[in-house]
A and B are shown apart, each in its own frame.
Chain A
Amino acid sequence: NAGVTQTPKFQVLKTGQSMTLQCAQDMNHNSMYWYRQDPGMGLRLIYYSASEGTTDKGEVPNGYNVSRLNKREFSLRLESAAPSQTSVYFCASSEKEREFTGELFFGEGSRLTVL
């Protein structure tokens, strides 16, 4: 089982360029998330998808768009990258079972640098 797979692992962009971060999970989870991690800021939720066909904004959605392509895949797009979007991006998934206690399964991250 691969779990949550993110691509690419590293990317360097110039200001104004666009790109899409891809995420796929093989655990048949309904919910998927995109977080960004910055030093001293912890993990901040960008967007999430509670189930296939739905997406909702998190804490820091500005400058991003998402697509829940199907149950397995959830992509994050930067239409016009800015240096402030330099970060490590994590995709996660979860299944809210009866005794859910907040277990999200994270990918290994995508490190993005915007020059």
Chain B
Amino acid sequence: QQQVKQSPQSLIVQKGGISIINCAYENTAFDYFPWYQQFPGKGPALLIAIRPDVSEKKEGRFTISFNKSAKQFSLHIMDSQPGDSATYFCAAPEGTGANNLFFGTGTRLTVIP
């Protein structure tokens, strides 16, 4: 069974700063690692995802970095904005070919104006 360990539990960043959230996984069988963003009262929504054949993926201010040897992947939010304040979850599939996800415990990000 895939396990993902996410840190930190909460994060406070000044507007314009860099937010960094980390995840570690155990099972090496995977096809992708997605990150989800959740606003209060809403369901999670896919933010960005990476496949294991690349070490980094960037979409706007959001970047995923992937370290296969350390079994870690991280989300970087550059130039953090108050509108980025949300809970972020990393996730991993149960195994190769699976489409059901195991989620991390979440990071509550607060960006202070």
Task: Give the segment of A13-21, A64-72, A102-110 that binds chain B.
Answer: A102-110
Count B-side interface residues using an 8 Å CB cutoff: 27
Identify the interface centre among A31, A43, A44, A100: most chain B CB within 10 Å of its CB.
A43
Count A-side interface residues using an 8 Å CB cutoff: 28
* B43 A102 Cβ-Cβ under 8 A: no
* B101 A108 Cβ-Cβ under 8 A: no
Please tell me if A74 contacts chain B, counting CB pairs below 8 Å.
Answer: no
Identify the closest chain A residue to B106 (Cβ). Answer: A42
Please tell me if A92 contacts chain B, counting CB pairs below 8 Å.
Answer: yes
* A108 B34 Cβ-Cβ under 8 A: no
Task: List CB contacts (< 8 Å) of A69-115 with chain B.
Answer: 90, 92, 94, 96, 100-104, 106-109
Which of B1, B32, B89, B105 has a CB less than 8 Å from the CB of A40? B105
Identify the closest chain B residue to A50 (Cβ). Answer: B99
Interface residues of A (CB under 8 A from B): 4, 31, 33, 35, 40-45, 48, 50, 56, 58-59, 90, 92, 94, 96, 100-104, 106-109
Interface residues of B (CB under 8 A from A): 1, 6, 9, 31-34, 41-46, 49-51, 89, 91, 93, 99-106
